[in-house]
Amino acid sequence: MTRPSATPAAPRRASLDAVLHYAWHAGVFTAGDAMPAVGLTRSTTIEALDGLVERGLLRELSNTRTVGDYSKGRPARRFELRADAAVVVGLDAGRAHATTTVADLRGQVLARQQVALDETHDSADERRAALAGAVDEALDAAGRGRDDVLALCAGVPAPVDAHGASPVHRDGFWRRMNPDLAELFGRWVPIVRIENDASLAALAEGSRGAAQGRRDYVTLLAGERLGAGVVVDGNLLRGAHGGVAEMVAFDHVAGVDGALGLGYRAAHWAREQIAAGALPAGHVLETVPPERVDGRRVFELAAAGDPFALGIVERVGEMLARIAALFGSLFDPRAIIVSGAVSGRAGAVLDAARERLPAMLHLPPPELVASDLGADVVSLGAVSAAVDAARAGVLDLTGRHAAAV
């Protein structure tokens, strides 16, 4: 893709942006299709279309006469977004794993790769090298290179401010998880966005998941540890330091007592009960080493009606109800989306929480909903955010970055 090296003047930029926004979400279209949607004159619409073709963002197709969609008069010119002109990258930069998704400009996935990260070697230099390597591997799998990347969004398990930086944490964890990734990837990616991982999960749920059509919701990442993304009046909330819904709040909530997730709590409480001799004789877990009793196993047993597992699930449901009540009181959402890998197995937990939640609130209780996006929800949200950032920022690229894609 080639483009002029100067940002267009404001009036022309506005028309280019309007037509590009239309094209990004349309299929094949004509100037006549675009005009009523963008509110521009025919001549201004055509000028913008030609400018976007020149910049490599649109391609002009055969006209309507050639494809047989023509009756009389001058045949209409046809256009479409060049979705393959560049790629975007969505990176779920977790503590133990990095999931990298490469997609075209419409968000169509070209490749997805997951690599394990060594949690014992998470210094800034080691993590930066590992994450850069993960992105390069995924680009290679997609048959693309660094020069093809227009935008990248990374999600990290830490608060992130509007500039992509994480605040100081008492033990340095947040900045180990986000060791200035904006600077690292900004060396070669024209448009970079760094976000909290749960915030990206919220974007994914809003764009393609259980929160579609909702303007007020909380997405709760709830596997081994808790994380939350909050959307109010259609806006993703961040805060001064990126700390909206920071989970240290639950250190001070009786019955929750920390940010450990639903899966972790189910496994921990099951092991406690087994160690206390509360496991019924002949139970299937008798033959399972305690360290292998995990949340997934407990939830699966509960779904099958196992009384021991159901008792654990009731306790986890009580905890989830308290979490939902706090979010319900603070943000008044219409829904709380339980998201991440745990969501597909936590149906009994949500049932237990639904029974308890109304008594904990004065406001109407939010609906508790299980996500169907699975473990890739953060990576999917990162792709959506990268696509949005690419569309919003591509016309502003100048100099080296203007020729980078």
pLDDT, tens digit, for every residue of 207-217? 999 999 999 99
Structure tokens at 71: 């009756």
With a cut of 80, say whether residue 60 has pLDDT above it: yes
Question: Residue 225: what residue type?
Answer: R
pLDDT of residue 5: 46
pLDDT of residue 120: 86
pLDDT of residue 400: 46
Q: How many residues does the chain have?
A: 405
Q: In what order do the strands lie in the sheet with 335-339?
A: 235-236, 226-232, 217-222, 335-339, 367-370
Q: Which domains does the chain have, with CATH numbers?
A: 10-81 (1.10.10.10), 87-206+378-402 (3.30.420.40), 211-372 (3.30.420.40)
Distance CA 73, CA 67 (A): 15
Between 64 and 239, where is the model more confident? 239
- Place 224 in a pLDDT band, splitting at 50, 70 and 90: confident
In the 3-class helix/strand/coil scheme, how is 182-204 assigned residue by residue? HHHHHCCCCEEEEEEHHHHHHHH
With a cut of 50, say whether residue 135 has pLDDT above it: yes
Question: Among residues of the chain, what percentage have pLDDT more than 90?
Answer: 85
With a cut of 70, say whether residue 18 has pLDDT above it: yes
pLDDT, tens digit, for every residue of 283-335? 999 999 989 999 999 999 999 999 999 999 999 999 999 999 999 999 999 99
Give pTM, 2 decimals.
0.88
Question: Residue 1: what residue type?
Answer: M
With a cut of 90, say whether residue 121 has pLDDT above it: no
If we measure between CA atoms, which residue out of 191, 192, 217 comes closest to residue 204? 217
Mean confidence (pLDDT) of the chain: 91
Contact by Cβ (8 Å): 91, 100: yes
Distance CA 320, CA 370 (A): 12
pLDDT of residue 404: 44
Instruction: Say whether 237 sits in a helix, a strand or coil.
Output: coil
